[in-house]
Structures are given as structure tokens and as C-alpha cells.
Chain A
Amino acid sequence: MIVGLSPFFAWHNLVIFLLVFLLRVNLSMFFMATAFFAIIGFFMDPLFDRLGYFLLVELDVARSLWIWIASAPILPFFRLNNTVVMGSLALSLITYFPVFVVAIWAIGQYRKHWKEKIKDSKFMKWFKATKLYGLYEKYQNFQEKWENLV
């Protein structure tokens, strides 16, 4: 969600990418969520800009923190002084926990009620027959072999 909502070339996204690759995260789900939230983020840029401006300029209590970030080593590269970066990051952090809870519940519901139905649906059958899915399968096989090798 953080990667999708915030501008793609923000440095904190690189950190999240590294974490995603290093930690046991479902990559398919990660990329799907990134694409989904990127579409939402595209329309929410004006809101991020206003929220970022509020946090950076109008919220006086946080001023010293932003000054410290702007003066500290490495941190200035994260462009947290940009209203869209700050707004999108802040909103995604605020909504992180509720979205996490909702996502866990939704996955449970999916596994319980829809997983089999979707698996047997005509759409999934058609999708499994496409080249894209073939490529995914090849990648999965490669991944398994690589993990066994390592």
C-alpha cells in the first residue's frame, strides 16, 4: 500500500522493496496491491498534497522533527519535505493497521467462501491457459529449484 500510494521513485519505496524481498512476503500479493493502490494514489494526489502541506507547514509541533530530518545525513534524499511524498506516506501509515485487519479478515472470508468457486470459474480456467500464467509457472519452478539449490 505504501509503495502504491506514494510516488514510485521515492527512496522509502526502495527500502520497502528490500524488506519485501528479504522477508517472507507474498510477492504476487505485493505487486497486486501495489498496482491497486497506485491507481487509487493517482487520483488522491491533491489530497496527499494538502495533507502533506498541513503536516509540514501548518502542524507547528512537528516542525522541529522535519527540520531535523532535513538536516540529518541521508534522510534528505527521502524527499520527505515534498508534500505529496509526506502526505501519501502519512496516510498509508495511518491506514496501515485498519487495512491490515480488514485484509486478514477478507482473506479468511475469501478462503472460506470464494477460493474454490474462483478456482473453478471460467475466468480462472481461461487465465491459466494464457501465456502470462505460463510465464508465472516457469518463474515458480525456477524459484523452487533456486531455493533447493541454495
Chain B
Amino acid sequence: MIRWKVFLPVFIVVALSLWFCIYRIDFWLKAAFENAISAVTGTKTDITYLRVSFRNSSLIIKKLEIASSKEEFKNALEFSDIVIDFQSLPLLEKRFVVDDFSIKGITWGGPRRKSGFLPPQPKDDKPSWFSEWADEAVSKVKSEFGELPVAKLADFRVPTNVDEVLTTLNLESEKALRAALVSAQESKTEWTRTISELKDVSEYREMFSQVQRAASSSPQTPAEILDKVKVIQTSISFFENEKKKADQLLNQTQAEWKKLQATYKMAVDSIEEDYKRAKEVVSLDQFDLKNLSRLMFGSQWMDRVELVLQYHAMIRHYLALMKPKEESKVEVRQRAKGRDIIFVSPKRKPAFVLAHSGFSVTGLESNNANTVSQTYELELKDLNSNPRLFGKPTEVDLDLRFKNWVMGEAKLDMFWDYTGSPLKDRYKLEANRIEASNWPVGIPKIFPVKMAGGVANSSSLLSFVDDEMKWTNRVNFVDISWDFREVPRIGFVIPAISEVLQKIKDFFVEFEILRKQGNFDFIVRSDLDDKMQKALMEVIEEKWKAFQAKLKLAIEEKVAKYRREALAEIGRYKKDVLGKVEEKKKLAENYQKQAEARFKEVQNLAEKKKKELQNKVKKEAGDKLKDITKQAPKIKLPF
């Protein structure tokens, strides 16, 4: 049944194939590593030497060069030696378990012999890990930057022409004073007409002369008395009526007068309002100086944010390809042919595990092993290819110390918990003694300021829970010297800002980026804004004091004519309307009093006459009675 004659050649062929595979694995792995790193970095990657030893269970890589994306003959990063000690038996289970991992010697920006540029590749629209929401949010914030009044900073100039400002203002006080004048004129006309409806003074005199006449001659008969009383009483009621009318009119005209005065006062107050508005037109509030730090540091920071968010999306994509669901027991990964089913079970183990590894790497200056300029201490904990299967979060701590470099020291702690739902990750970075000259700042074209000296100390905390994000980054700038060489000396505000900024040495800038329930917020806080605003306002106030005084005077002059006229008209109203009504009232009162006095006189006279007549009648009656008594017969009574 078995072809024994074929067995030997087949065995030899299989053995040779196996030997060839083992012999070639170094080349294949080398190419695979180079291609994989190049795919991520987008630049050429070269490995000078790679050796896999199954006997020693180790993978040694010597001189791993990652080319710079900007300079053709420069490396971005270069590692001298990388040693990975792995376990052999798990390889049979298609697992790569790393016992120890170490890197020796790291160089930044070293030279390279061959070009590091890759042949132009057809660009994919977007990589598979591309984060749509990050792209959308960052684009939105960037478009908001476009709407900030940046151009106004350059265009703004101290106004010199008062009339120009007043014309744009369209003074409200002028209108109000004119309205007050018209109102006073109309009221005067209307009330003068109403006053004319009162009886004339000549009528008062005529009426009073009747009273005088009635009172002048003493009445001889009761009928005469009655006539006189009637005449005087009619006059009194006439004057009383007139007085009432005048009184009523006085109340009404006084109310109107108060109204006119209030209108005038409001018109005068609006002069002050106009002045305030005029000041606002020429103030710096329109530039929203509270946002100055956002303008100076924000847009550059957004570029970094975009980069970090996309790198984060990439990490997530590779570490948590499938968003885990509590109830699911399998993960499905799409392949070119069919689908791979990953069973989530306590018995399963991830394909790649690096349980713990801690080592330090020294950075070499100019690739010279004798000159160490950087030290990196890296601690990796529970690095694995399938966090759900592994069941433990991954931690990476990196301590960096630099000598004569753009940064003094930095500490980066990274934490990923993709073992369940929700996905959590946290990145904490503290970087000290960063050369401030490397920190991007300024408003392109308008205010391209730079930091020439000083240091920045930065602390940053970025945390994610699923797609919800919070990133707080605080940078303390110390002993900053500014470089204004490229700043154009245009307008008024830019030189003023430069002047103020020159004096500011220490300040902080805090960036906060939040993503909550789909909303993305970018907040920039800084004590620079308050300092700048205060100092700028002082400079502006000083420069504008004279102009503002001129502005006030011009407003007052412009409304003075109407103010004067309105005041005069109100005065005339008082004199012509109120004065007349009061005069009429007084006159009516006076005549009424006099008429009443006359009436009393006539009454007294009538009383006197009445008494005289009574006495006379009494006497006559007495006399008559006496005569009758005398003439009567004397009768003597018998008793």
C-alpha cells in the first residue's frame, strides 16, 4: 500500500523544504518587519541584521533605521540593538510569548547612505483606522478659527476724525432733544388755545364793575337790596366758576410741564448714552481680547490634536479590532477569503504576549557609542494582541532624560483597558524644560511672533472611555523672551500687543478638549489674556484720552442747539401757559374775594336797613298804639 520507494525522496524533499524555510525565515521576517514599519511610518525602514535563533529562543535585530519623511538622507530614528527573548513552545500554538525585550542605543536624526523616500504610492483615501469623528470635530474647530476677527487686529487704527465716528453713530440724543423741542412747542400751542377759552380779563373787570356799582349806592327799598344781592351773587358764582376752571387747567398744564421736563431730562441723559456708544465704537472689545491666547496658541495646538487623535484611532484599531460585547463569545474578523472566528474563552490565550519587560535605552549622539545624550527607561506590562482573551489591561511607562536637547525630561504613562466594555485608555505625559523656541505660537501673517528663549513645562492627561474624551494640557512658560522680527508693524493693535507682550515673561496656557455625547469642545485658558487685556487697555486709554474728550465735546456741541431750544421752549411754556393760567386763577380769586367782600357790605347794609325799618315800623306801631290808647274810652271796672 505504501510506496516505500517514494518515502525517502519525499522525506528528503520535506526536510530540505523545512531547512530552507528555517534558513530563509530571517530574510522573510526582515522583509516583513521592514514592510510593516514602513506601512505605519510611510517612510523607508532598513534592518541591517536580523537573526532568529530557535535554539536560544531569541530574535536579534541590529541597526533598525526608520527614515525621515522630510529629509531624504536622514533617519528619523535609529536603534542599535533590539533583542527579543521568546518562548518556543507557544509558537506551536501559533502564539508569540515574549519573555524579555530590550533595546540598546537610540539615535535621532542620524545620516543615512541611501535615500529614505519610498517610491510614490497611490494614496489611499483614508486608512482603515481613520477616525471620522476626530476628523469632523477638528475640521469644525478649525473652521471656527477662520471666523475669529483676526484681520481686524491688523486693520484697526486709532480714529482721528470725530465727525466720522458721529456720522456712523447717528446720535440718539440729537433726535431726543429735537423731539423734546417739538413736544414743548406743540404743548404750548395746544394749551394756549385752551387758555383762550377762559373769559377775558375785561369780562372780569366788567363783572366786577357791576359788583362795585351794586355796592356803591345804598339801597332804599328791600327790592333794591334784593336786586343788588342778586347782582353780586351772580358775579361771585362767575368768579368762582372761572377760578375752578383756571384751577383745573393749572393742574393739567402743570402735569404737561412735568412731562416736558421728563422728556427733556431723558434727552439730556441720552447724550451720555451716545458718548458711551461712541466709546464702544472705538474700543477694543470688538476684538474679544479674551480669546487672544486661543488665537496665538490654539490653531497650532489643533494640528497636534488631530495627529494624536488619529494615532489613537490607529492604536484602538489594532488593539481592539472588534468592540467587545459582554454577551458575545466569539469575535469575527473579516479576511480576504472568509472570516476568522476567534473564540473568547477562559482557556484561550492571545497570539502575542509580553507579560512584563523593563529596560533602559541610551541615546547616542551622532551615532557615537561613547557619547550618550539621552536615556530612556521603558517598562512594558501585559502587552498583548487580544486584551479580551488576556483579561488584563496593558501599561507602558516611559521615562526620558535628555542632555543638550530640546527637552530636559519627560515621563509618559500609558494605560489601555480593552478587556471589556467600555473601552478605556489613558495617557499621561509630563515634559519639563522644553525649549520654548520649539513651541508653535503666533497668528500666521497677522502676528507671527515666536518665542526666542525660555522654557516650557507641560503636563497632559488624555483619557478615553469609549468615544468620550477628555484632554487637559497645561503648559507653564517661564522666563520667555519674544521674537518680534517677523511681526509687521501695521495698524494700532499689533504694535500695542507686541509692546505689552514684550513685558510678559511668565504665563500659562491650558488647553482642554472634551468630547461628550457627540459634542466636541475646545477650550483655551490662559492668564496671558487677563494680563494682555489689562495692559492693552492702559495703553489704549492713554492714547485715546484726548480723542475721547474731543468726542464728548463734539457730541455736546452737536446737540447744544436743540438742547438750548428745547430748554427755551419749555421755559416759554412755563411762562406763557402756566403763567397765564396762574394769573387768571389769581385774578378770578381776587375778584371773587372782592365781590364777596362787597356782598358782605351789601348784606350788612341790608341788615342795617332792615333793622332801621324794623325800628321805624316798631316806633310807628308804638306811637299808633299810644294814640289808640289815648283815644280809647276809659272804663272803670266795678271791682
Contact = CB atoms under 8 A, between A and B. Distances in A.
B330 interface: yes
Contact of A85 (B329, B338, B343): B338
Given A21-B10, A57-B330, A83-B338, A76 B93 contact: yes
Interface string B303-340: 00000000000000000000000000110100101111
A45 B337 contact: yes
Contact of A23 (B2, B92, B341, B343): B2
Given A67-B348, A71-B347, A81-B342, A150 B337 contact: no
Contacts of B348: 67, 70-71
Contact of A22 (B7, B335, B338): B7
Contact of A73 (B5, B92, B338, B345): B92
B349 interface: yes
Interface residues of A, number: 33
Nearest to B328: A57
A30 interface: no
Nearest to A68: B347
Interface in A1-57: 7, 18, 21-24, 45, 48-49, 52-53, 56-57
B337 A22 contact: no
Given A67-B345, A67-B348, A76-B93, A82 B339 contact: yes
Given A81-B343, A82-B337, A22 B6 contact: yes
Contacts of A67: 343, 345, 347-348
Interface string B147-165: 0000000000000000000
A132 interface: no
A18 B11 CA distance: 9
Given A22-B3, A22-B10, A147-B5, A49 B89 contact: no
B546 interface: no
B621 interface: no
B3 A21 contact: yes
Contact of A49 (B8, B330, B339): B339
Contacts of A45: 337-338
Contact of B340 (A18, A77, A82): A82
A63 interface: yes
B628 interface: no
Interface string A80-116: 0111110100000000000000000000000000000
A53 B343 contact: no
Contacts of B6: 21-22
B632 interface: no
A52 B10 contact: no
Nearest to B337: A84
A72 B95 CA distance: 11
Interface in B437-466: none
A147 B337 CA distance: 41
A52 B1 contact: no
B434 to A, nearest CB: 47
Interface string B1-36: 111011110100010000000000000000000000
B126 interface: no
A45 B338 CA distance: 8
Nearest to A53: B339
Given A21-B6, A57-B330, A71-B348, A52 B338 contact: yes
B5 A83 contact: no
B94 interface: yes
Nearest to A69: B343
B1 A24 contact: yes
Chain A CB count within 10 A is highest, among B10, B92, B339, B348, for B339
B3 A24 contact: yes
Interface of B: 1-3, 5-8, 10, 14, 89, 92-94, 329-330, 332, 335, 337-343, 345, 347-349
Given A67-B347, A73-B92, 20 more contacts: A18-B14, A22-B2, A22-B6, A23-B1, A23-B2, A23-B3, A24-B2, A56-B330, A66-B343, A67-B345, A70-B343, A70-B348, A71-B93, A74-B93, A76-B93, A76-B94, A81-B341, A82-B337, A84-B337, A146-B5
23 contacts: A21-B3, A22-B3, A22-B7, A23-B1, A23-B3, A24-B1, A24-B3, A48-B338, A49-B338, A52-B338, A52-B339, A53-B339, A57-B332, A63-B343, A67-B343, A71-B349, A79-B340, A82-B335, A83-B338, A83-B341, A85-B338, A147-B5, A150-B5
